[in-house]
Amino acid sequence: MKTVEGGVAAPKGFRASGVAAGIKPKSTKNDCALVVSDTASAVAGMFTTNVMKAPPVVWNEEVCAKGAARAVFINSGNANAATGERGFRDARATAEAVANKLRIPIGEACVCSTGVIGVPLPMDRILDGVTRCVESLSAKGHGDAARAIMTTDTVPKERAYEVALSSGVIRIGAMAKGSGMICPNMATMIAVITTDAAVDAPVLSNVLREAVAGSFNCISVDNDMSTSDTVLCFANGAAGLPAIAPGTPDFNTFKTALDSVCRELAKLLVKDGEGATKLVEITVSGTQTDAEAKTVARAIGLSQLCKTAFFGQDPNWGRIVCAAGYAGVPFEPGRVALWLEDVQLVSQGMPAACAEADAAAAMKRPEFRIRLEVGNGPGSAVFWASDLSYDYVKINADYRT
Amino acid sequence: MKTVEGGVAAPKGFRASGVAAGIKPKSTKNDCALVVSDTASAVAGMFTTNVMKAPPVVWNEEVCAKGAARAVFINSGNANAATGERGFRDARATAEAVANKLRIPIGEACVCSTGVIGVPLPMDRILDGVTRCVESLSAKGHGDAARAIMTTDTVPKERAYEVALSSGVIRIGAMAKGSGMICPNMATMIAVITTDAAVDAPVLSNVLREAVAGSFNCISVDNDMSTSDTVLCFANGAAGLPAIAPGTPDFNTFKTALDSVCRELAKLLVKDGEGATKLVEITVSGTQTDAEAKTVARAIGLSQLCKTAFFGQDPNWGRIVCAAGYAGVPFEPGRVALWLEDVQLVSQGMPAACAEADAAAAMKRPEFRIRLEVGNGPGSAVFWASDLSYDYVKINADYRT
């Protein structure tokens, strides 16, 4: 598996584009993106579990249920959420415009919207965006697309891999956006993954579910699950290789690559989280099950007190074991051990004899790891969290003003 | 029911004291408090559910299981948490010193510790604090006691009521401390309630459980449940009235008064929460059950995005309905209605025709109410939350440095 250029357009048969259509208020930044497969493509999706899910999410769920789609149009600047019946009509009208321009069935066009909640889509600008996105589609348009889906993100987020299967080479490309309301429980805000591997929709759906569980569902910037979280994965088979069958070595190779893409993007989202100055990798082990370990790691990653200590570069292990303690998972306090990088802070539930200054020094890096052992059970999990900074408060107290 | 002076020493037969014993580092502030009943007293307690519960919590659980106690000694500046076997020995030694000085059984002395986690108690200073607290006990010592239990609190928190029962007058007094690691799931950091009503321990325990459920368990400053959360309620019967029996009018009167004391203190904790500039009362209704309503209200009260919007005085209703949507309680998005004070922001899941400026104006007050309706079910609940400010981050990024 090697990293290549090209983002979502790296796999064969995919093109992309991004344009500025004036949907982001008072801005000339890109705000419409389009990703298209030139041929028929399987699709799988993972979506927010928020009751207030936005109309585009409902539309995409219907598309993904059928397992085939050739395009996804994404606008930033407006989430088309809490927009009632009009929101559903607008999502459908957008999909219809995309389908007409591309001459594909309307049921094969996905649409995503991200941005402010509760304001109807400016449909004239959206339709203008659709037209211009279709006109500017190219294999080189991936960067424009990745920039067009940004909201409070400070950098575009793309990855592409080349993966050697037994029958030949396939590629996986991806882009994603954050960077607030990030605590997905099904998928992150928006991520689009493309591959020229041939994968049947049900297989793709299973592999995607597992990849998301270990990546986008293991991160938190601010504990707030959005109304629009969406991960879409397109597989068009344009590499010309046989379909990847579950249980084969190629299946495992593909799965590993997809897991890796999702994890890379998930970490990029945390790293670029609103106001984030730290990317903290939290590993918990020794629970009875992996799910328990994830629950504990998540409690630490969501704790405001831990996150402010990360920001303050303070190895305040008391807050970490405290958060572990209220996660709802039973464990023996006397068995708890904690490391910050290589510095052991806690042993048998009590302060370890350590140079806390070494731990504080490690926390000065932009990325560091925490490892918590709570027993000798076989369960383990990894979670990625940002810190909680002044800038997070500033960004979110001033968001609309 | 009328408010009176005197805090925990307002009810007959209770005395209190607070002294500075040098447990808070580099400080001359009070850090030891003692509350004593001059006669035998029933006791009930509610405690943290944190797995990493501190040794004093374990000790108090044992005391409360027997239902009788005459004293509680509290130190601030050190939580005696994550201190292993030594922590248990220290908690017991403290209780023993209190019991010896007061000439009461050791099993009737409660001990609480609040402050830094993971540092052994400085027992010489603690024992000095015990001696001096016993020496300075008085009916006027309630204020010294309330100040001695403060950590990052900016004001002491006391309440006392006089309540007319059918047989005569009783009093209820109370003190509490916050102000970080506040998201109790059993009780808050530390609160002590006294009454000269005669209430049997099992009855007291039931009434306290319900009072806590609707007060301390309905608040959040920072979503972090502490290792030390403790509410203790002493009833010594010194008013000389008959025991209060469940099912009688007096029982309901007493219950209402205890509920009210707990709710007042809980709101004081939120108001004085770390960095808090707002006290927000969140009422949710229309769910199938009260528990569902509390879950939704809690999701809003815990949401970092809602809390930063409260700080920014931004009527960002999208974040409120979004948080409601991920609470895990099913409801129809199209039935959602939201008010900020008297301004309706959302109707049928969509923006209401309102002057958002009116809502923004209401948010400039230090206290305001949010009311969310999610259907026409009979469930409802109230939750109190603080906002999330720069100062919260500052206080907690710099806590130990």
Catalytic residue among A48, A188, A195, A295: A188
Indicate if B247 and B331 belong to the same structural domain: no
Shortest distance between the Cα of B7 and any Cα of chain A, in A, equals: 31
Q: Give residue-wise pLDDT tens across range A20-31.
A: 999 987 888 999
Q: Is A188 a catalytic residue?
A: yes
Indicate if B10 and B73 belong to the same structural domain: yes
Contact A304 B330 (CB under 8 A): no
DSSP E strand stretches across A11-156: 14-19, 32-37, 42-47, 71-78, 109-116
Specify the 3-state DSSP secondary structure of B216. Answer: helix
Give the percent of chain A with pLDDT over 70: 95
Distances (CA, A) of A81 to A86, A116, A178, B295: 10, 8, 17, 22
How many A/B residue pairs have CB atoms within 8 Å? 207
The residue out of A271, A292, A312 marking a domain boundary is A271
Q: State pTM to two decimals.
A: 0.81
Distances (CA, A) of A87 to A19, A57, A114, A310, B391: 22, 11, 13, 40, 39
CATH number for the domain harbouring residue A354: 3.10.20.340
Indicate if A236 and A347 belong to the same structural domain: no
- So what's the pLDDT on residue B187? 38
Provide the b/e sequence for A199-234 (b: ≥16 CB within 10 Å).
bbbebbbebbeebbbbbbbbbbbbbbbbbbbbbbbb
B335, closest residue in chain A (CA to CA): A84
Helix or strand run (H / E) with residue A131? helix A123-135
Indicate if A285 and A239 belong to the same structural domain: no
- So what's the pLDDT on residue B226? 67
B395, closest residue in chain A (CA to CA): A308
Q: Give residue-wise pLDDT tens across range A279-322.
A: 999 999 999 999 999 999 999 998 888 999 999 999 988 889 98
- So what's the pLDDT on residue A93? 98
Cα A339 to Cα A342: distance, rounded to the nearest angstrom: 6
Nearest to A84 among B302, B304, B348 (CB): B348
Contact by Cβ (8 Å): A369, A329 = no
Residues facing residue B168 across a β-bridge:
B165
Number of domains in chain B: 2
Residue A154 clears pLDDT 50, i.e. is over it: yes
- So what's the pLDDT on residue B154? 87
What pairing do the DSSP bridges indicate for beta strands B219-220 and B379-386?
Answer: parallel
SS3 content of chain B, % helix, strand, coil (to 5): 35, 25, 40
Nearest to B82 among A51, A308, A349 (CB): A349
| Better-scored residue on pLDDT, A391 or A340 | A340
Q: Give residue-wise pLDDT tens across range A116-132.
A: 888 899 999 999 999 99
- So what's the pLDDT on residue B400? 56
Nearest to B305 among A324, A351, A396 (CB): A396
The residue out of A271, A289, A324 marking a domain boundary is A271
Residues facing residue A371 across a β-bridge:
A283, A339
Indicate if A113 and A159 belong to the same structural domain: yes
Residue B361 touches chain A, beta carbons under 8 Å: no
Nearest to B308 among A79, A83, A397 (CB): A397
Residue A139 touches chain B, beta carbons under 8 Å: no
Specify the 3-state DSSP secondary structure of A269. Answer: helix
- So what's the pLDDT on residue A292? 94
Residue spans of chain B under pLDDT 50: 185-188, 401
**Chosen from A393, A394, A399 to mutate, greatest number of chain B CBs within 10 A:** A393
Residues facing residue B339 across a β-bridge:
B344, B371
| Region A138-144 average pLDDT | 97
Indicate if A245 and A283 belong to the same structural domain: no
- So what's the pLDDT on residue B391? 87
List all residues of chain B from 304 to 343 with a beta carbon under 8 Å from chain A.
304-305, 308-309, 311-312, 314, 316-319, 321-327, 329-331, 333-334, 336
| Better-scored residue on pLDDT, A77 or A228 | A77
DSSP A328: S
Indicate if A138 and A251 belong to the same structural domain: yes
- So what's the pLDDT on residue B39? 95
Total residue count of chain B as it appears in this document: 401
- So what's the pLDDT on residue A222? 66
- So what's the pLDDT on residue A56? 94
Indicate if A111 and A239 belong to the same structural domain: yes
Longest dimension (CA), chain A: 69
Confidence of residue A151 (pLDDT cuts 50, 70, 90): confident
Cα B49 to Cα A93: distance, rounded to the nearest angstrom: 51
Cα B262 to Cα B382: distance, rounded to the nearest angstrom: 14
DSSP A216: G
Q: Give residue-wise pLDDT tens across range A158-177.
A: 999 999 999 999 999 999 88
Specify the 3-state DSSP secondary structure of A388. Answer: coil
Indicate if A203 and A304 belong to the same structural domain: no
- So what's the pLDDT on residue B363? 94
Indicate if A260 and A284 belong to the same structural domain: no
Contact by Cβ (8 Å): B190, B207 = no
CATH number for the domain harbouring residue A232: 3.60.70.12
Burial class (CB in 10 A: 0-12, 13-18, 19+), B242: middle
Q: Considering chain A, what is the average pLDDT of its residues?
A: 90
Indicate if B256 and B356 belong to the same structural domain: no
Residue A329's domain comprises 279-397
Burial class (CB in 10 A: 0-12, 13-18, 19+), B357: exposed
The residue out of B247, B270, B293 marking a domain boundary is B270
Residue A95 clears pLDDT 70, i.e. is over it: yes
Indicate if B171 and B232 belong to the same structural domain: yes
- So what's the pLDDT on residue B188? 43
Contact by Cβ (8 Å): A165, A15 = no
Return the residue matching tokens 């509610």.
B46
- So what's the pLDDT on residue A61? 94
Shortest distance between the Cα of B336 and any Cα of chain A, in A, equals: 10
- So what's the pLDDT on residue A353? 80
| Region A92-112 average pLDDT | 97
Residue A235 clears pLDDT 70, i.e. is over it: yes
- So what's the pLDDT on residue A153? 85
| Better-scored residue on pLDDT, A190 or B39 | B39
Residues of A within 8 A of B49 (CB-CB) are: 326
